[in-house]
Structure 1
Amino acid sequence: MRRIKTTCRWAATVLAVASGTAQADIANVVSAGGSITEIIYALGEQHRLVARDTTSTYPKAAQALPNVGYVRALSPEGVLAMNPGLILAEADAGPPETLEMLREAEVPLVLIPDVPTSEGIAAKIRAVGEALGAGDAAGTLAEEVTVQMQAVAKRAAEVPEASRKRVLFVLSLQGGRILAAGHDTEASSVIELAGAVNAMDGFSGYKPVSEEAVIAATPDIILMMDRRGTGMAEDAAVLSLPAFAATPAGQEMALIRMDGQYLLGFGPRTAQAVTELADRIYGAADQ
């Protein structure tokens, strides 16, 4: 996961669209970014796709497409082998050398703004639609998602300040080191959207933290990506670690795991993901 871009950076992002790319007859589209791929499917434009990146795991049908690698570690040879008519990529796709080679090859490349907010999701949807010549469908989808996100925001606002749970997002525990999310991250944004508080707010981005820092953060809940089957420790093993065992989360055995792209992708399913997270933190809204 990545540190989020500032609003100014997003506002200054320019869609690098080559002349003639924003047309309804574009074919051989390569998508580099899980949320972008989701949007393409949600718009009904998946017939244009010829390849996707590693993060594009939803919907399941996308997994059958050729994989051109991780969105921020793309190989120019792998992308060009797809003979793309258009590349749609998240704004921080890379590395820069690959993007430069793609531009030199005169492949139409559109960098899609990516800000983890309700407005950012709508803008992302519209940008993808514009690049594909599907602006009307994108406008409709953006409006639907905006309404859903407004409902999410209303629910979060109704959580009393004194009742807000402190949530610690742990990106990884590799080698026994705790890599946690500070502010200016997708994880922090989704925690706040769910009506909770990011327990680790003394720094920006994703950084290693000490046992002492975790204990001092007093998290009520540990939030992690669900990577079962990849060697990730079971819940009890995680919560028994000294850093967590001494916290309210460890004492209450409170650990939530959710699919990373679903939780942090900030695409068409984000309202659903935030609602599920809020349900798991506070209980279903109708209870």
Structure 2
Amino acid sequence: MIAAILSKPARYAIVSLLASTVVTASPGLAGDIAVRDALGREVVIADTSRTLSIGGAITEVLVALGLEQRITGIDSTSTYPPTAVKDKPNVGYLRQLSAEGVIGLNPTLILAMDSAGPKQTMQAIESAKIPLVLIPEKLTEQGLLDKIRLIGHAMNADASANCLATAVAEDFDQLRQLRAKIDRPLRVMFVMSLVNGQAMAAGRNTAANEIIELSGGVNAIDGYDGYKSINDEAIVAAKPDAVLTIRRSRDTFEADAFYAHPGFALTPAAKNRVFVAMDGLYLLGFGPRTPAAARDVAATLYPQLASQAGDFKPKAASAVCRP
């Protein structure tokens, strides 16, 4: 009844005050750790025992470092590995977080992608004095390695993080060797969704653009940044040799819909029936499995590389980087 009467800012203030009291009473680890996050802020961390992970890649890294027991909660993009996340409290989608849900878990540390939001929620979390480290999402090979090391440093697990980063770097090296065998890069269009006949396609400066390039392709859409809806004429003009998309539990862009679409039906992709659908976090998450995801895309786009792709054994999957 009281929550219904109070305004939203007032509820945030009360929840923040309570959470601040809880965090202050939490036992700290031996020695504080200082990290610089995506906003250039120096964040001092005293206790990682109840870490809230907001971002699928962050959760993957934490588990790969053997720190799943410290994860007190996750967001809805944290779906891998399923056995490690299935019983974790979920605070919802990383861009639509509620302050009550996040603060209510009493985390001693929050690791979140820098795209987490909304802004009002993030301000309420900071007001609660909970250490918040925003992890930069730099969609490059080096950006991924830096992400792993930053997460590891925040968790006082630098040695494990360096181990994992080294393994991922070796996977990128294997991927480069595979790409070197490609004679003619294909034009690939990434379609996020196809709703009422309208395609939402990825342009530059997106995770989709980077994964296309990592897999040895060329983004067929290069006239804009981000994701935008495009019409049939633009689809035909882009001349994609292949269409790439993600598999989801609902609203999935299926191959049959692609082949029947009046715009895509006139493209080389439809003529040659080249349609690739993969798990969204695996394909676009930019976590430790990214080189393996790019390898799988390359093997599908270029059947002649199938045997060489089969020799690509991801180091990140087998590296023992736990303390």
Taking structure 1 as the reference length, what is the TM-score of the superposition? 0.90
Establish whether residue 13 from structure 1 lines up as the match of residue 33 from structure 2.
Answer: no
Provide the rounded CA distance (Å) in 1 between the counterparts of 2:108 and 2:43. Answer: 11
SS state at 2:115 partner: coil
Which of 74, 85, 93 lines up with 2:108 in the alignment? 85
* 1:6-29 deviation line (CA, Å, top 9, x unaligned): xxxxx993464543x1x5x52111
Give the residue type in structure 1 aligned to 2:66.
Answer: G
Q: Provide, for residues 162-203 of structure 1, a one-character-per-residue CA deviation record: whole Å limited to 9, x for no partner.
A: x11111100011232110001111101000011111111111
Cα separation, partners in 2 of 1:139 and 1:15, compared to 1, 3 Å? farther
Query: Which residues of structure 2 form unaligned runs of 5+?
Result: 1-35, 310-323
2:52 alignment partner in structure 1: 30
What amino acid does structure 2 have at the position aligned with 1:107?
I
The answer to whether the 8 Å contact 1:15/1:111 transfers is no
1:233 deviation in Å? 5.1
For residues 47-126 of structure 1, what are the structure 2 equivalents within 5 Å?
47-61=69-83, 62-126=85-149
- TM-superposition CA deviations, 1:193-228 (whole Å, max 9, x none): 11111111111110011100000111111111012x
Distance 2:151 2:40 in 1: 10
Of residues 236, 241, 245 in structure 2, which corresponds to 1:224? Answer: 245
| Closer, same or farther: CA 285–119 of 1 in aligned 2, 3 Å | farther
CA distance in 2 between counterparts of 1:133 and 1:26 reads: 8
For the Cα contact (< 8 Å) 1:89–1:111, is it kept in 2? Answer: yes
Inter-partner Cα distance in structure 1 for 2:252 and 2:205: 26
- Give SS of 1:125's match: helix
How does 1:38-49 map onto structure 2 within 5 Å? 38-49=60-71
Measured in 1, the distance between the counterparts of 2:156 and 2:234 equals 49
Partner of residue 130, structure 1: 153
Residue 241 (structure 1) aligned with residue 271 (structure 2): no
* One-letter code aligned to 2:38: T
Displacement of 1:254 in angstroms is: 1.5
Distance change in 2, residues 1:138/1:12 (3 Å): closer
- Distance, in Å, in 2 between the alignment partners of 1:38 and 1:183 is 25
* Partner SS for 2:86: helix
Query: How high is the sequence identity, in percent, across the aligned residues?
Result: 42
**1:155 CA displacement:** 2.0
Do the aligned residues in 1 keep the contact of 2:245 with 2:253 (CA within 8 Å)?
Answer: no
Residue 166 of structure 2 aligns to a residue whose secondary structure is helix
Q: Is the 8 Å Cα contact of residues 91 and 101 (structure 2) preserved in structure 1?
A: yes
Distance in 2 between residues matched to 1:240 and 1:185, nearest whole Å: 27
Residue 172 of structure 1: aligned partner: 193
1:268 corresponds to which residue?
A: 288
Distance in 2 separating the partners of 1:151 and 1:96: 40
2:219 is aligned with 1:198 = yes
Distance 2:170 2:253 in 1: 38
- Structure 1 regions of 5+ residues with no counterpart? 1-10
**Contact kept in structure 2, 1:240 and 1:250, CA below 8 Å:** no
Which protein shows a greater Rg?
2
TM-score, structure 2 as length reference: 0.80
> Using the alignment, how far apart are the partners of 2:265 and 2:124 within structure 1?
49
Alignment partner, residue 258 of structure 1: 278
